[in-house]
């Protein structure tokens, strides 16, 4: 029997989030919950939503912290007062079922400044790196961690939460050309300098990624989001392809298990060398132009909130 995500209906549009290219929105739903909605009409297309479901649900099944996913029925009329035309056009193209992620109020982005004051256990870091390596998630780097720290106040200690896996499962863009055992460069993973124990994580998690678990996870993807995958006759054929590839990949973990992460100091040296190289050939007056962008608000010092 197929297990699907819980369904809710958006009743109030709160605001857009402009931190990513897909411009998700925060909505309140008829269950009184608040959700970050990723819209089906975004430029990333349905495959990004498929990756969000498969990787997010797999993370939860393996015991990693990931907010609940729901299917959100969205009527663009509730966001008619949105002032930006491009966002209204996105809403207009997204009428119907979209993907929602439980909103974590007050959560802080896991930026380099926060990471300086936040301890991460090597095994927890290893589990997250291992999941990213299995699912070929290329978007959890020191520059864009897609990790949240929550809660940031109160008596409950803060914990790492995973978000945003739309850039994972890159093999589903080239089904016929990506080998299950292919290595990917994880040197700049957001948790690389926490000495992630990926070997212990592999020993713990690999036996749990069974065909049965993978079928349960991919069953939660709506048929309509799989229909655009050319080369497959039915949505279930696409599901079989995800199961087959991930099952083959987990069995080949020895071939892709990432090791040899650089330290903070090595990363800083790489960044400095890159910045120096970018200055070569520029006129002296341009080298003296200050950074007009400043430090992003997301990189404010949250150490006081992290206990």
For the stretch 56-60, contacts whose Cβ atoms lie closer than 8 Å and that sit 24 or more positions apart, written own/partner, are 56/101, 56/162, 56/165, 57/217, 57/220, 58/131, 58/135, 58/209, 58/213, 58/214, 58/217, 59/131, 59/162, 59/165
pLDDT attached to residue 305: 40
Please give the average per-residue pLDDT across 252-281, as a whole number.
Answer: 84
Q: How far apart are the C-alpha atoms of 266 and 253, rounded to whole Å?
A: 27
172 within domain boundaries? no
- pLDDT at residue 178 tops 80: yes
pLDDT attached to residue 306: 44
pLDDT attached to residue 2: 63
Confidence of residue 245 (pLDDT cuts 50, 70, 90): very high
31 within domain boundaries? yes
pLDDT attached to residue 286: 53
Q: How far apart are the C-alpha atoms of 109 and 292, rounded to whole Å?
A: 22
Confidence of residue 20 (pLDDT cuts 50, 70, 90): low
41 within domain boundaries? yes
pLDDT attached to residue 293: 40
71 within domain boundaries? yes
| 89-130 confidence digits (pLDDT tens) | 999 999 999 999 999 999 999 998 898 889 999 999 999 999
pLDDT attached to residue 303: 39
For the chain, give the longest Cα–Cα distance.
67
Task: Find out whether 158 and 188 touch, Cβ atoms under 8 Å.
Answer: no
The three-point CA angle 288-292-296 to 5° equals: 130
Residue 130, number of CB atoms within 10 A of its CB: 29
Calculate helix-pair angle for 122-134, 46-61, nearest 10 degrees: 140
Please give the average per-residue pLDDT across 37-58, as a whole number.
Answer: 97
Please give the average per-residue pLDDT across 207-236, as a whole number.
Answer: 94
Instruction: Name which residue leads in pLDDT, 85 or 260.
Output: 85
Q: 108-109 and 6-16 as β-strands: parallel, antiparallel, unpaired?
A: unpaired
pLDDT attached to residue 299: 42
pLDDT attached to residue 279: 77
The three-point CA angle 82-85-87 to 5° equals: 65
217 within domain boundaries? no
Q: 34-38 and 108-109 as β-strands: parallel, antiparallel, unpaired?
A: unpaired
Q: What backbone phi and psi angles, to 5 degrees, belong to 203?
A: -65, -35
What's the whole-model pTM score? 0.88
Q: Which structural domain range is residue 58 located in? A: 6-102
**Alpha-helical runs (H) found in 98-234:** 112-115, 122-134, 198-205, 211-218, 223-226
In whole angstroms, what separates CA 197 from the centre of its chain? 21
293 within domain boundaries? no
pLDDT attached to residue 295: 41
Instruction: Name which residue leads in pLDDT, 20 or 280.
Output: 280
- pLDDT at residue 35 tops 70: yes
227 within domain boundaries? no
259 within domain boundaries? no
What is the number of domains present in the chain?
1
pLDDT attached to residue 18: 80
Q: Which of 21-25, 133-137, 141-145, 284-288 has the highest average model confidence (pLDDT)?
A: 133-137
Q: 6-16 and 69-74 as β-strands: parallel, antiparallel, unpaired?
A: parallel
């Amino acid at each position: 029997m197929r297990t699907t995500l819980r369904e809710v209906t958006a009743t109030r549009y709160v605001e857009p989030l402009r931190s990513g290219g897909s411009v998700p929105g925060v909505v309140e739903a008829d269950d009184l919950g608040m959700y970050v909605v990723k819209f089906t009409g975004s430029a990333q297309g349905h495959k990004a939503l498929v990756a969000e479901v498969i990787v997010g649900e797999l993370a939860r099944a393996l015991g990693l912290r990931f907010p609940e996913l729901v299917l959100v029925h969205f009527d663009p009329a509730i966001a008619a007062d949105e002032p930006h035309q491009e966002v209204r056009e996105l809403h207009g193209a997204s009428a119907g079922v979209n993907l929602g992620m439980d909103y974590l109020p007050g959560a802080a982005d896991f930026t380099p400044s926060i990471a300086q004051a936040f301890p991460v256990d090597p095994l927890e870091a290893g589990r997250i790196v291992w999941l990213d390596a299995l699912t070929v998630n290329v978007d959890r780097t020191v520059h864009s961690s897609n990790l949240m720290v929550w809660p940031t106040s109160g008596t409950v200690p803060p914990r790492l939460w995973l978000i945003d896996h739309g850039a994972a499962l890159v093999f589903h863009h080239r089904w016929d050309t990506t080998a299950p055992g292919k290595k990917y460069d994880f040197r700049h993973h957001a948790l690389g300098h926490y000495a992630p124990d990926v070997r212990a994580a592999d020993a713990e998690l690999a036996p749990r990624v069974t065909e049965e678990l993978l079928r349960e996870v991919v069953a939660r993807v709506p048929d309509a989001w799989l229909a655009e995958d050319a080369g497959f006759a039915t949505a279930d054929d696409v599901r079989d392809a995800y199961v087959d590839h991930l099952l083959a990949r987990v069995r080949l973990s020895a071939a892709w298990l990432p090791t040899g992460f650089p330290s903070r100091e090595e990363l800083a040296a790489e960044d400095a060398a890159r910045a120096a190289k970018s200055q070569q050939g520029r006129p002296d007056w341009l080298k003296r132009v200050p950074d007009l962008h400043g430090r992003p608000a997301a990189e404010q010092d949250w150490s006081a909130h992290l206990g």
